[in-house]
A and B are shown apart, each in its own frame.
Chain A
Amino acid sequence: MSSIKIELHENQVKELVEVCRSFNNEAGELINVLHKAQGIFGYLPAEVQEIVARELKVSVAKVYGVVTFYSFFTMVPKGQHPISICMGTACYVRGAEKVLDEFKRKLKVPVGETTPDGKFSLNCLRCVGACGLAPVVMVGDKTYGRVSPDGVKEILAEYA
């Protein structure tokens, strides 16, 4: 992962530096800064973590530690169509795990990763509050309810 050099947009880098400044470049604001950074870039590759470390004067290893600790941070770019499967209690008891397994099988990627063509990424969510529709799957902003393992194929077909 770290061997691929990523070119960041100059504007985005400027924006990130501004974000750090808006938090007074305080090391204590690391988590908040990382949140905003993920907002700008969509994910937190090594290059972004390096900038944050430089601006807040903390070590890169420390930044990496924080990024890997919290599950809402991701170090891989989201796919064009990010797929999220709700793993809340209601969805879980109604078979969300089988749905997830089917997505994994079809896309050939584990949770937290993106397909090599960059099209889909796969993630789990805590309860999204649509328990009446359990099990729930989201693709981008679109919500699918009562999804069964058999329905996975149809959902993916929509984005083919």
Chain B
Amino acid sequence: MNKYLVNLTINDIPVSVPEGTTILDAAKNLDFRIPTLCHHEDLCVAGNCRVCVVEQIGGKALTAACATPVSEGMQIHTNSALVRTARKTIIELLLSEHNSDCTKCYKNGNCELQSLAHEYRVGDHVFIDLVGTRKRVIDNLSPSIIKDDSKCIRCQRCVRTCSELQGVSALAVANKGDHMKISTFFDRPLVEVVCTNCGQCVNRCPVGALVEKTYVEEVWDAINNPNVHVVVQTAPAVRVAIGEELGYDAGERLTGKMVTALKRLGFDSVLDTDFTADLTILEEGTELLTRLKRALVDKDTTVALPMTTSCSPGWIKFIEHTFPEFLPNVSTCKSPQQMFGALAKTYYAQKKGLKAQDICVVSIMPCTAKKYEANRPEMRSSGYKDVNYVLTTRELGMMIKQAGINFQNLEDSHYDSIMGESTGAAVIFGATGGVMEAALRTVYEVVTGREVPFTNLNIVPVRGMEGVKEAKVKIEGCLPEWSFLEGIEVSCAVAHSLVNARDVMQAVKDGRAHYHFIEVMACPGGCLGGGGQPIPTNNEIRNKRAAAIYEEDAGLPLRKSHENPEVKMIYEEFLGAPNSHKSHALLHTHYIPRKRY
């Protein structure tokens, strides 16, 4: 598409930008930052906060830079006296309704309103303070998310996130005028509505109105208790994002330093969720092959296909609410986090001579939905809560800072053993398409005895940020026992962001699409764009984290889950075979149909 260039000046500096560019982005080209609140790159324009106003010479009123495209000959001033006064007034008005107890606020130090107030040196109250006239309502019933309306500036980023990216619309604008607020259905607590706990709204809320529920203090208590053996597991996407909390640019791979930091924090054993990611591939791959065999050989018409992945708890909650009729299609495999918890309190306990009740399992996850998942009543296969506490990448950053660790100077170290070994296939679980790629690497080889026919094992069609990706892999030259799959083209789909997952499932439901296997990740970009990842997260940052994940995979000696030596060992010593009786008891689960609205 050939776009015309538009010429304008910003602060008297001439610039040419393609037609349709907003004033905000044109200014960015010249390295002028215009402050924003309601604007977010991932979302459509709302234009409701007006903090981005600029002056247009000859214009009647100030213009919202985020919502106005450039036009020929425009003369824009981003920092004139008029602009500064207007912005200051807007900030003061926001603060007059805002419960500004920054020192006690979870977002202190990472809050867009606080930075603006600081930047504009907002002083004493100019407007009548309305905070005291309102009842403070906090919803803290969810194990994942806290919603504090007294901090809300009504920018509606959360509402747009939940509907545009997630297709959930758990949040809407209710009431009007002075009473306007962000509300669920009948203002019910988030745990009682369709919310998937994905935390995408938390990641985009500019202030402290939507935050994760933190368990940092509980984890410190466990670490400081000499009678408790505290095991920590780290999800694949954390190692490529933790740097952003600690002064690095996006896309740094910091696995080794992160492991050292966790040891210094005092965890008794630093282990890897990647180990159970590899294990998931064997369990889930076997489940897929079993389902295919039942459908193709036994002609069993009750077998549910396509099979979908189950590692994203936001996706699980979504399908429970939205497509409960498809729950039999969801793999019965628990997520790697929960497999880890169940094994830590059984297998690991046995090997280390520990009692399950003396072990505390902490997870570091890019995700807020994992907090909810760990609390599900099904997740107690060890007889205890399998995973005790789930922290986000952000909370790990907080702990490292609290402990005064100079992260950048740390040496690299290795994960402990057992349950610390992993392959490249597990690392790519952190990116959209990664589970599919890992599964294909293993399943193809199990069935044919040969490596999956893609250069360097890189299954490129399932990578990247396209909302829905499709791939077909033709199975040829099967080993005798798998001959029923000879010539079959395995048809796969990969979706990330629940709005895309909904499209894929609707297509399956309407009979418009026919797949064998579907991977769904609730968050944009997969776990690397999870709700618990550093703020901000946007497309550029997601791409950098993804590149880091694929680099990490490419650099590892083992890149296929079935080659993980500790995985082989656990089957020999403990589980027997994939989908064995014991595997089913510890590593598989069931789902609950929930109300749609």
Contact = CB atoms under 8 A, between A and B. Distances in A.
Q: Do A and B bind each other?
A: yes
Interface of A: 1-2, 46, 49-50, 53-54, 58-65, 68-69
Contact of A61 (B171, B175, B176, B596): B171
Contacts of A60: 185, 193-194, 597
Nearest to B185: A60
A63 B193 CA distance: 14
Interface of B: 163, 168-176, 183-186, 188, 193-194, 596-597
Given A69-B175, A69-B176, A64 B170 contact: no
Contacts of A53: 597
A64 B183 contact: yes
Contacts of A54: 596-597
A62 B169 contact: yes
A37 to B, nearest CB: 15
Given A54-B597, A62-B169, A69-B173, 4 more contacts: A58-B169, A64-B183, A64-B185, A69-B174
Contacts of A68: 174-176, 183
A59 B164 CA distance: 12
A1 B186 contact: yes
B309 to A, nearest CB: 25
Contact of A2 (B174, B176, B186): B186
A32 to B, nearest CB: 19
A49 B169 CA distance: 15
A3 B193 CA distance: 13
A1 B163 CA distance: 26
A2 B188 contact: yes
B175 A59 contact: no
A50 B597 contact: yes
Nearest to A61: B172
29 contacts: A1-B186, A2-B186, A46-B185, A49-B185, A53-B597, A54-B597, A58-B169, A59-B168, A59-B172, A59-B185, A59-B194, A60-B597, A61-B169, A61-B171, A61-B172, A61-B183, A62-B169, A63-B185, A64-B172, A64-B183, A64-B184, A64-B185, A64-B186, A65-B172, A65-B174, A65-B183, A69-B173, A69-B175, A69-B176
- Which are the 3 A-B pairs with shortest beta-carbon distances? A59-B169, A65-B172, A61-B172
Contacts of B596: 54
A62 B182 CA distance: 11
A33 to B, nearest CB: 15
A58 B173 CA distance: 14
Contacts of A63: 185
A65 B173 contact: yes
Contacts of B170: 59, 61
A58 B168 CA distance: 10
Nearest to A58: B169
Contacts of B169: 58-59, 61-62
Nearest to A2: B186
A148 B168 CA distance: 51
Contacts of A46: 185-186
Nearest to A75: B186
A62 B185 CA distance: 8
Contacts of B172: 59, 61-62, 64-65
A54 B170 CA distance: 14
B510 to A, nearest CB: 14
Contact of A59 (B176, B186, B188, B597): B597
Contacts of B184: 61, 64
Contacts of B175: 68-69
A64 B163 contact: no
B159 to A, nearest CB: 9
A44 B188 CA distance: 16
Residue from A2, A54, A65 with most neighbouring chain B CB atoms (10 Å): A65
A54 B186 CA distance: 16
A64 B186 CA distance: 7
Residue from B168, B188, B193 with most neighbouring chain A CB atoms (10 Å): B188
A68 B173 CA distance: 9
A19 to B, nearest CB: 18
Nearest to A54: B597
A1 to B, nearest CB: 7
Contacts of B173: 65, 69
Contacts of B168: 59
A143 to B, nearest CB: 29
A62 B163 CA distance: 10
Contacts of A64: 172, 174, 183-186
Contacts of B597: 50, 53-54, 59-60
A60 B186 CA distance: 9
Residue from B168, B170, B185 with most neighbouring chain A CB atoms (10 Å): B185
Contacts of B193: 60-61
A17 to B, nearest CB: 15
Contacts of B194: 59-60
Nearest to A70: B176
A68 B171 CA distance: 14
Contacts of A1: 186
A31 B169 CA distance: 18
B79 to A, nearest CB: 37
A61 B174 CA distance: 8
A137 to B, nearest CB: 26
A54 B171 CA distance: 16
A7 B183 CA distance: 25
Nearest to A49: B185
A60 B195 CA distance: 12
A155 to B, nearest CB: 30
Contacts of B183: 61, 64-65, 68
B166 to A, nearest CB: 11
